[in-house]
Structure 1
Amino acid sequence: MLKLVNMPGEGRMLSLTIRNYGRGDFANLIALQARCFPPPFPSELWWNEEQLNEHATRFPEGALCAEVDGTIVGSMTALRVTVSEDRPHNWASMTDNGYIRNHEPDGDTIYVVDLCVDPHYRKLGLGKWLMQSMFETVVHLGCRRLLGGGRIPGYKVHSANMGPEEYVRKVCEGALKDPVITFMLRCGRLPVGVAAEYLEDEQSLNYAALMEWRNPFKTER
């Protein structure tokens, strides 16, 4: 996918490409993680080459990157699984700690592992373009839906007055804004639940909103 985007404040158009990433991109993807998650975020939690190799070889359709004028400035990774309602739901178990060796070639759900955009390029709508590209993958593969846990980083300051479910509901109603959940709502994803101890995240108090996009071309049985 190729399009032109306007760089705010610079008065110039940039060429944006959404494509699958491969081995030749690994160093640039790790550098992207460093820019997106600087210290005090621990560097050992950035992608490593073994994880990236699993993404690119085990499920290449779910390994996407955004490239602006030849520089990788965003990425999105997913795997394919069938999610049962009684299955323990946290990031580590659903993504095999980011290695996706639990990928199921015939799974009915595209599950989001990660989405990140270089801070310098976050006003270009790259996250939304990556998300829409993954929606296209859901449709192309005939999967039932896209699903993933979204951080709720605005929750901590409201936690004394409401539970996480009420917080997510208020964000959906527009009474509150959350930098992650509001973005996902704008992309067309809707909440289907809240998971405790999803990922170690102080701002979210380790909660995550489970956000879904259903394939409109797939008939539910």
Structure 2
Amino acid sequence: MYRKEIYHFHEGKPLKVVVRNYQKADFNQLIEIQQESFPPPFPSELWWNEEQLTNHVSLFPEGALCLEIEGELAGSMTSLLVSFDTANPNHTWEEITDNGYIRNHQRDGNTLYVVDLCIRPSFRKHKLGKVLMDSMYDVVVYHKLERLLGGGRMPGYKKLAQDLTPEQYLEKLVQGELRDPVISFLLQCGRMPVAIVRNYLEDEDSCNYGVLMEWKNPFNQR
């Protein structure tokens, strides 16, 4: 099982952070984080439910991580193993994650696929998302996988969709000419763009596009 204690600096001050596997005792706080992050009119049925969380901790507990500060959960990140073929990148979030239930988890998969990353709103300015991402890289290395992969929303695209194709928008992000709340964050975490996927998820701000972004295991290059 995974447990890491570090001092994470926020506004110049050290903050003790624990990253560990989440368990059944954490379910209420995990659901609470979802409720705070996606308040109404966001549909409540799309928050984590107990069945999904139970699957996470029973089917692939190594891929169920939470971040704790002074006994309070500040965020979580969930993943599953899949067999990914780089020649056929097109898929939807619902298909590859089993709509968050991960019943399609493949123990012999070559890729750690990100299901979800969520930080409690009151901790959003602490840059804790990167702490969780770095911890998932540890899981990739431990299991000797080829990569971490996941689809990133591009919520800044809608405002520029009349002027730029998704490919042009992504290129400007990579070149530093534009900034996107999600894709730019993933770039800062060391993730590299693989492909743009149409109809990745229902997301008006991203015009339903997702950017597949990977982190390759530096100890397992093929």
**What range describes the TM-score normalised by the shorter chain of this pair?**
over 0.9
Q: Report runs of 4+ in structure 1 exceeding 2 Å deviation.
A: 4-8, 11-15, 84-88
Are 1:192 and 1:212, in contact at CA under 8 Å, matched by a contact in 2?
A: yes
Instruction: Report deviation, 1:4.
Output: 2.5
- The 1:13/1:166 distance shift into structure 2, 3 A limit, reads same
Q: What's 1:53 paired with?
A: 54
State percent identity of aligned pairs: 54
Instruction: Report deviation, 1:120.
Output: 1.2
TM-score, normalization: structure 2?
0.95
Q: Following the alignment from structure 2 to structure 1, what is the Cα–Cα distance between the partners of residues 95 and 68?
A: 30
The one-letter amino acid of 2:25's match is G
CA displacement, residues 158-200 of structure 1 (integer Å, 9 cap, x when unaligned): 1000111111111011010000000000000010000111111
Q: Name the SS for the 1:104 alignment partner.
A: coil
Q: Following the alignment from structure 2 to structure 1, what is the Cα–Cα distance between the partners of residues 90 and 143?
A: 25
Q: What's 2:81 paired with?
A: 80
Q: Name the SS for the 1:102 alignment partner.
A: coil
Q: What's 2:193 paired with?
A: 191
Q: What's 2:44 paired with?
A: 43
Q: Name the SS for the 2:116 alignment partner.
A: strand
Are 1:14 and 1:69, in contact at CA under 8 Å, matched by a contact in 2?
A: no
Q: What's 1:4 paired with?
A: 7
Q: Following the alignment from structure 2 to structure 1, what is the Cα–Cα distance between the partners of residues 151 and 45?
A: 21
Instruction: Report deviation, 1:15.
Output: 2.2
2:110 equivalent to 1:108: yes
Q: Following the alignment from structure 2 to structure 1, what is the Cα–Cα distance between the partners of residues 64 and 180?
A: 26
CA displacement, residues 97-123 of structure 1 (integer Å, 9 cap, x when unaligned): 000000000100000000010111112
Q: What's 1:64 paired with?
A: 65
Q: What's 2:149 paired with?
A: 147
The one-letter amino acid of 2:21's match is N
Aligned pairs (5 A) from 1:65-214: 65-84=66-85, 85-86=87-88, 88-214=90-216
Q: Return 5+ residue gaps in structure 2 as ranges.
A: none
Q: What's 2:20 paired with?
A: 19
Q: Name the SS for the 1:122 alignment partner.
A: helix
Are 2:90 and 2:197, in contact at CA under 8 Å, matched by a contact in 1?
A: no
Q: Following the alignment from structure 1 to structure 2, what is the Cα–Cα distance between the partners of residues 114 and 164?
A: 22
Are 2:80 and 2:105, in contact at CA under 8 Å, matched by a contact in 1?
A: yes
The one-letter amino acid of 2:179's match is K
Q: Name the SS for the 2:99 alignment partner.
A: coil
Instruction: Report deviation, 1:87.
Output: 6.2
Are 2:199 and 2:209, in contact at CA under 8 Å, matched by a contact in 1?
A: yes
Instruction: Report deviation, 1:83.
Output: 1.4
Size of the aligned set, in residue pairs, is 218
Instruction: Report deviation, 1:86.
Output: 3.0
